[in-house]
Structure 1
Amino acid sequence: MGSLGKLIRAAALALLAVGAVASPGRAADGPLRVGYSDWPGWVAWQVAIDKGWFKEAGVDVQFEWFDYSASMEAFGAGKIDAVTVTNGDALVMGANGSKSVMIMLTDYSNGNDIIVGKPGLKSLADLKGKKVGLESGLVEHLLILNGLEKAGLKETDVEIVNVKTNETPQVFGTPDVSAIGAWQPIAGAAMRAAPGSRPLYTSADQPGLIYDVVTVSPTSLAARKQDWAKFVKVWDKVVAYISDPKTKDDAVKMMANRVGVPPESYAKLLKGTRLLSLAEGAKVFEDSDGFGSLYGSSRNADAFNVKYGVYKDAQDVKSYIEPSIAKAATAKAAAK
């Protein structure tokens, strides 16, 4: 394993070591506790929270707000039942002791995950020999490795500086790095702080590379499958409310208020996140190779993670995916 691979693996293990001693699972009563963080496809849940739709659906749900990596730490420690993460990062958690099962997709990243270069840099090729600040072993690392490979560069052609995603704008303003990897709105904050900076590679350059999911502890899923089924059904109301021109502004206000930005700014962020209805998500749940399938995307992420030393052993991707709940909700909706 190269020096970069050792760095990635060390960072991933440090982040998720708590998962190795995770509690066996929460009790089969009380609210479903879900960790969510600052990504448009997950902030979208704020609409259901503010509108009281979980209560209407007959399920008690408590959402808890975290920085992204902290949400995974909380899941690994057994403090929450489920967490919103990328499909690739669900594998990272599982490989390091915090197994989960993906029960639904919220969206795929369509440009909101970004490798941002300082002024004067025009492409990933310009990063050769330079330092890039991002959270080692997690989603933006997958993004840059995918881009480097397509650009004909090796992992050793850049030096990764391990930086928590929420801290990348501050690091970008120092001489320590030439580029950072982050998602919106964090990537936008970095670009605003450095006029003339620009995206060098985004998730729109590889559609389907990054799917965003709700992933649940196996213990909670087994004990409360009917509650999770009620939870999943609410998602279509969220997507419909955000998509309807008559209610979109109201939805954006709720989402913007959650993250503390003006609604007009937040509306722009939605363009780089492709929200998926349950019916659209059911198609992505079909088992096939390639980036149009959650299975294919996850196998690709698993191969990257093993190749670059994020974790040692390939994961059984199928054991991380449970499509039945979302598919059943889609079938019932279609039958009405």
Structure 2
Amino acid sequence: MKFLRLAKRAVSSLALLAALPLAQAEPLKIGYSDWPGWVAWEIGIQKGWFAEEGVEVDFQWMDYVASMDAYAAGLLDAVTMTNGDALVTGGTGKPSVGIIINDFSNGNDMIVAAPGIDSLADLKGKKIGLEEGFVIHLLLMKGAEAAGIDPSEFTIVNTPTNETPQVLASGAVDAIGAWQPNSGQALKTVANSKPVLTSADVPGVIYDLLCVDPESLEKRRGDWMKVVKVWYRIVDFIKDEDNLDEALEILSARVAITPEEYEPFFAGTYILSLEEVLPIWKKAKGLKSVYGSTVISDEFNVSMGVYDEPLKTEQYLDPSLTKEYAKSVK
């Protein structure tokens, strides 16, 4: 009889446990910032596509450098970064794995010169304000290389990117390096200023990624796959011209400007479709591959003393979720 009572009690306990709701996984915490290829996540947020896919995501809006600092401090599961800046974060503290290539910069990153300066060569012996050691600095170096200019002929003034428009307007420097919206603000603030180099001149030098904590990726791969699915739903939405007005309304609202002001940013940010991104995920040398581009960024970071030794750059990239998703939709 005692055995029966114990058995009945065990069955009752199991029934009670079965009736309790399953514990909810913590939301995936993602830091994102003001870059058109990353503001695009707002479409999935506003349309409720993450909930539809069955993953809870907490997108946290912050300044770019602050988002990398928050990731390095362990406050985020993932952050939006360029491939080069992901190495900076990893080489100086906390590594990550890029699982999505959102876009490549196609003109939004610029060296903007003061009036009267018409080319990169005109900046020899002059001051350029930019965030030293960051990707905009790499753009300047690669642009100088292409133009046959010794980069040591420039005087770099280390300047936070969000302060570059004011610094150019003050006359303290002859040019600045910045990305949208700061580059556009500099052009607007300083009459007759002009871009003398843009990322469209060096395509592939800057890829923009979603970079995930390796531990989170290992533990919650299924949830990150759902994020990948939502991303390509966003891309399909943006690529459909019938959705342009709605997309601009959503994106411009996030950064508090008008849709008309936001529209030109699309031209300077090439958001990659699934078909377009697959060749970029192939391992190869040079800027047409994210692997080759990241090696170039690594060499730059070491040369700038950002960290001492070259990194194992392949460990910072994982195309497997994108490739798995591509197979599923064939």
> Scaled by the length of structure 2, what TM-score is found?
0.91
* CA-CA distance at 1:319 after TM superposition: 0.7
Does residue 84 (structure 1) correspond to residue 69 (structure 2)? The answer is no
Q: Which of 160, 163, 168 in structure 2 is aligned with 1:164? A: 160
Question: Displacement of 1:244 after TM fit?
Answer: 1.1
Alpha-carbon separation, structure 1, partners of 2:294 and 2:180: 22
Q: What CA deviation, in whole Å up to 9, does each residue of 1:263-318 have, x standing for no partner?
A: 01111110111101233222211111111111011011111222232322111111
Equivalent residue for 1:263, pick from 239, 242, 259: 259
SS at match of 1:260: coil
Structural mapping, 1:1-336, within 5 Å: 29-334=25-330
Give deviations 1:201-238, integer Å, cap 9, x for gaps: 00000111110000011111111111001101111111
Q: What is the root-mean-square deviation in Å for CA atoms of aligned residues?
A: 1.2
Alpha-carbon offset, residue 333 of structure 1: 1.2
> 1:113-144: CA deviations, max 9, x gaps?
10000001011111111111111111111111
State the distance in 1 between where 2:236 and 2:177 align: 31
Identity %: 50
Which stretch shows the higher mean deviation, 53-62 or 240-249? 240-249
Which residue matches 2:4? none
CA distance in 2, matches of 1:152, 1:279: 35
* CA distances 1:61-114 after superposition (whole Å, capped 9, x unpaired): 110011111010000000111010100110111110110011110000111110
Give distance in 2, aligned partners of 1:298 and 1:70.
Answer: 22
- How far, CA to CA, are the matches of 1:310 and 1:119 in structure 2? 33
The one-letter code sitting in structure 1 at the alignment partner of 2:258 is P
SS in 1 for 2:34: coil
Q: How many residues align?
A: 307
Unaligned runs of 5+ in 1: 1-27
AA paired with 1:179?
Answer: A
Counterpart-to-counterpart distance in 1, 2:171 and 2:249: 36
CA distance in 2 between partners of 1:97 and 1:308 (Å) = 17
The alpha carbon displacement at 1:49 in A equals 0.5
Segment of structure 1 superposing worse, 279-288 or 321-330: 279-288
Stretches of structure 2 that go unaligned for 5 or more consecutive residues are: 1-23
> C-alpha displacement at 1:239, in angstroms?
1.1
Distance 1:159 1:250 in 2: 44
Q: Which amino acid in the other structure matches residue 109 of structure 1?
A: S
CA contact (8 A) 1:109 1:207 kept: yes
Q: Which moved more, 1:32-41 or 1:277-286?
A: 277-286
3-state SS of 2:187 partner? helix
Query: What is the CA-CA distance between 1:249 and the residue it aligns to?
Result: 0.7
- Structure number with bigger Rg: 2
Could you tell me how far apart the structure 1 residues matched to 2:118 and 2:61 are? 36
User: Structure 1: how far apart are the matches of 2:248 and 2:142?
Assistant: 32
Structure 1 position 151, deviation (Å): 2.2
The secondary structure found in structure 1 opposite 2:282 is: coil
Q: Is the 8 A contact 1:103 1:326 kept in 2?
A: yes
Distance 2:121 2:76 in 1: 41
Partner of 2:20: none
Contact kept in structure 2, 1:110 and 1:203, CA below 8 Å: yes
Consecutive aligned runs of 4 or more in structure 1 exceeding 6 Å deviation: none
For 1:278, the aligned partner's letter is L
Contact 1:235 1:277 in 2 (8 A): no
